Amino acid sequence: MLPAVFVGKRMDPQKALLRDLKRAERRRRLIAFALVAPLFLFLLVFFVLPIGDMLRRSLVDTELSEVWPRTTALTKVWVWDRVSEPTPEMYRALAEDIRQSAQERTIAVAARRLNYALDNGRSLVMNTARELRRQTDEPADWRARLIEIDPAWGDRKTWIAISQAAGPFTDYYLLTALDLERNEKDKIVRRPPERSLYLQVLGRTLLISATVTVLALILGFPVAYLVANAPKRIAGLLMILVLLPFWTSLLVRSAAWIVLLQDQGLVNDMLQALGITSGPVRLIFNRTGVIVAMTHVLLPFMILPMVATMKAIPPTYMRAALSLGAHPAIAFIRVYLPQTLPGVGAGVLLVFIMALGYYVTPALVGGADDQMLAHFIAFYTTSSANWGLAAALGVLLLTATAILYMVYAKLVGIGQVKLG
């Protein structure tokens, strides 16, 4: 039946049809949006906002300005003329702020913040607070009094550290993550070798992740090929074996490798029984243990995308190549292998990105020289409460991952990265 009339006239059937089609399209879009909205909200709350907060914490620094407002206000003026000495007003404001923060029991916040940038910064602040608590008089020269308590207050580097922490924004955390710092002349220089750490850790993280990815690809490709081309019953059994590790906790799987790889473990006993080694080989709490355990944990994530891609490849292609006289190896390399690249690319990308953020496995089976960047992020987040540096290291890892992904997408093509 045609739509009802309005204004005393019957609507044109074509216009009515267009109107109904637009209404149906709007309804379809609303239903689609309602279905996607929970996922969008989840990503916004648990992915976008935490990353945004991480970026903010790496640049925002308000701890010291909230505890020492007078001192930080004066250092913001002095920051434009650091060739001169700190003024008497700056020393007086510092003494007043230390006394007040000690009374309000917030002195530990200032001590912790300065300890990031100064050696023994915590001791400097806390000892000064104790001395000022004993001395109740008001000296004419606060500079002399503070330097008498600790000569470090006369060092320009101390005041540079205070001005860097004056907020509300700072580049201190990002510079530290890049093994850089500001010297007494406020110039960005490379940190001394004994204090340079994080770029080396980033390189170690990339190296371990790349090694694990290559090993997972080498071990996973034959398994994926077998699962994709085996009879249905055998393929189902093999798929269960591939998924079996997911039924066990990551912590348990990592701890199991400690039992297997220890000096008296099953692997060393087998090597000695076969005469390959004359004694126990150190396989745990070093780089070898980290790579073996991480490869085992991440191997299914390499296999599954490749299986999905290989199952979609028609077997007639290989039969056609063989019927045209191609050698089986040549047919495999030139016909079959290129069609598996989408699954290989997805598996490589997935395993590499997951390996970059690994923390539990290296912490359990690795040594002190095998900890990855995630270990330091967790340490500064949970142990030392240095959220700024933890956020800066997170930004460093995020940036490195984004750069590598863009390079990968440029070389392989994002359209080639599929899960099936």
- pLDDT tens readout for residues 203-249: 999 999 999 999 999 999 999 999 998 888 888 888 888 888 888 88
β partners of residue 248: none
pLDDT at residue 146, rounded to an integer: 93
pLDDT digits (tens, 9 = 90+) for 357-414: 888 888 888 888 888 999 999 899 888 888 899 999 999 888 888 888 888 777 766 5
Q: What does residue 236 show for φ and ψ, rounded to 5 degrees?
A: -65, -40
Query: Cα Rg for the chain, rounded, in angstroms?
Result: 32
Write down the pLDDT at residue 79: 66
pLDDT averaged over every residue in the chain: 87
When mean pLDDT is compared over 117-121, 162-166, 304-308, 416-420, the highest value belongs to: 304-308
Q: Is the pLDDT of residue 5 over 60?
A: no
Residue 27 in this model has a pLDDT that exceeds 50: yes
Per-residue pLDDT at 138: 84
Mean pLDDT along residues 187-193: 87
Q: What is the pTM of this model?
A: 0.81
**What is the pLDDT, as a whole number, of residue 417?**
42
pLDDT at residue 418, as a whole number? 42
Burial label for 44, CB within 10 Å (0-12, 13-18, 19+), is exposed
**Could you tell me the residue ranges of all domains in the chain?**
1-44, 63-195, 198-416
Its CATH architecture, for the domain 198-416, is Orthogonal Bundle (1.10)
Burial classification of residue 257, based on how many CB atoms lie within 10 Å of its CB (0-12 exposed, 13-18 middle, 19 or more buried): buried
Percent of the chain topping pLDDT 90: 35
Residue range 99-112: mean pLDDT, rounded? 92
